[in-house]
Amino acid sequence: MPTSGIGVDWSGMQLKKVVAALGASATVLSGMVFGAGSASADSSCPSLYVVAIPGTWETGKDKKPQPGMLAGVTNNLPRTADVDYVTYAATAFPWEGEVYGNSKKEAVDRARGLISNMAHACGATKIALVGYSQGADAAGDLAAEIGTGLSVVPPERVAGVGLISDPRRSPTDVQVGAPAPGAGAGGPRVGGFGWVSDRTRSICAVDDLYCATAPDDFVTRFAGFLAQASDANPANMWRYQIEAGNIMNDLFANGGVPTLQAQLTDSANEQRAKDLERFYKSQAHTLYGSYPVGNGQTAVSWMHNWIASMA
Q: What is the pLDDT of residues 200-228, one digit of tens each?
A: 999 999 999 999 999 999 888 888 888 88
Tell me the percentage of the chain whose pLDDT exceeds 70: 84
Summarize the confidence of residues 109-135 as an average pLDDT: 97
pLDDT of residue 309: 98
pLDDT of residue 128: 98
Instruction: State the average pLDDT for the chain.
Output: 86
Whether 25 shows a pLDDT value over 70: the answer reads no
pLDDT of residue 110: 96
Task: Kindly state whether residue 5 falls inside one of the protein's structural domains.
Answer: no
Whether 47 shows a pLDDT value over 50: the answer reads yes
Task: Kindly state whether residue 153 falls inside one of the protein's structural domains.
Answer: yes
Task: Kindly state whether residue 253 falls inside one of the protein's structural domains.
Answer: yes
pLDDT band at 280 (very low <50, low <70, confident <90, very high): confident
The pTM score is 0.83
Q: How far apart are CA 311 and CA 74, in angstroms?
A: 12
Give per-residue pLDDT as tens, 126-182.
Answer: 999 999 999 999 999 999 999 999 899 999 999 999 999 999 999 999 999 999 999
Cα 291 to Cα 130, 193, 203, 209, distances in angstroms: 17, 25, 10, 15
Task: Kindly state whether residue 1 falls inside one of the protein's structural domains.
Answer: no
Where in the sequence is the domain holding 86, given as residue range(s)?
12-308
Task: Kindly state whether residue 66 falls inside one of the protein's structural domains.
Answer: yes
pLDDT of residue 94: 67
pLDDT band at 32 (very low <50, low <70, confident <90, very high): very low
Whether 233 shows a pLDDT value over 80: the answer reads no
Number of domains in the chain: 1
Task: Kindly state whether residue 7 falls inside one of the protein's structural domains.
Answer: no
Q: How far apart are CA 160 and CA 127, in angstroms?
A: 7
Contacts of 164 (CB under 8 A, 6+ apart): 69, 70, 73, 130, 131, 132, 133, 136, 202, 203, 204, 288, 299, 300, 303
Give per-residue pLDDT as tens, 291-306.
Answer: 999 999 999 999 999 9
Sign of CA dihedral 162, 189, 134, 164: negative
pLDDT of residue 28: 43
pLDDT of residue 65: 66
Give per-residue pLDDT as tens, 68-86.
Answer: 999 999 999 999 999 999 9
Residue 203's beta-bridge partner residues? 164
Task: Kindly state whether residue 46 falls inside one of the protein's structural domains.
Answer: yes
Task: Kindly state whether residue 2 falls inside one of the protein's structural domains.
Answer: no
pLDDT of residue 60: 85
Q: Read off the CATH number of the domain in which 77 is found.
A: 3.40.50.1820
Instruction: Report which of residues 69 and 231 the model is more confident about.
Output: 69
In this structure, what are the phi and psi dihedrals at residue 126, rounded to the nearest 5 degrees?
Answer: -85, 155
Q: How far apart are CA 57 and CA 70, in angstroms?
A: 13
pLDDT of residue 95: 65
Q: How far apart are CA 67 and CA 64, in angstroms?
A: 10
